[in-house]
Amino acid sequence: MATENKSTGLTSKETLLSFLNALNEEDFETARSFVTDDLRFEGVLGARDGAAAYVTDMERMKFKYAIKNVIAEGNDVAALFDVTIQGMEILTAGWYHLTGGKINSIRVIFDPRPLFEKKD
């Protein structure tokens, strides 16, 4: 079961969904409000330390998330979604950990091969 943040009234699942919705709407200031300053991102193509670096990347890449399923237990939330990257929808799994009601760790996995295949 998702844990509720007493200061925001949002559960961990609601926090994640609000965060992804803000990214989809390109409202990066709101998205930034859902993560800690010391956010750690780990992905297939690299890692980022700090909220500023992560949000800057998101502003540049403008990914879109089509959420398939979200499962929350305590301060951990797992999500399956299609991410549109370079015009391709790629099935992605994300694991988000919250501290103090904010996301402080993001780990994502996906098959990157379509990004490297030659286009005719």
Model pLDDT for residues 26-44, shown as the tens digit of each residue: 999 999 999 999 999 999 9
Residues 32, 55: contact at Cβ < 8 Å? yes
3-state helix, strand, coil in the chain (%, to 5): 30, 50, 25
Instruction: State how far the Cα of 2 lies from the Cα of 49, in Å rounded to an integer.
Output: 25
- The model carries a pTM of 0.91
Instruction: State how far the Cα of 66 lies from the Cα of 39, in Å rounded to an integer.
Output: 23
**What Å distances lie between residue 67 and 22, 41, 49, 57, CA to CA?**
13, 19, 25, 20
Can you list the domains of the chain with their CATH numbers?
A: 12-109 (3.10.450.50)
Q: What is the mean pLDDT of residues 100-116?
A: 95
Model pLDDT for residues 63-85, shown as the tens digit of each residue: 999 999 999 999 999 999 999 98
The band of 115, judged by pLDDT with boundaries at 50, 70 and 90, is confident
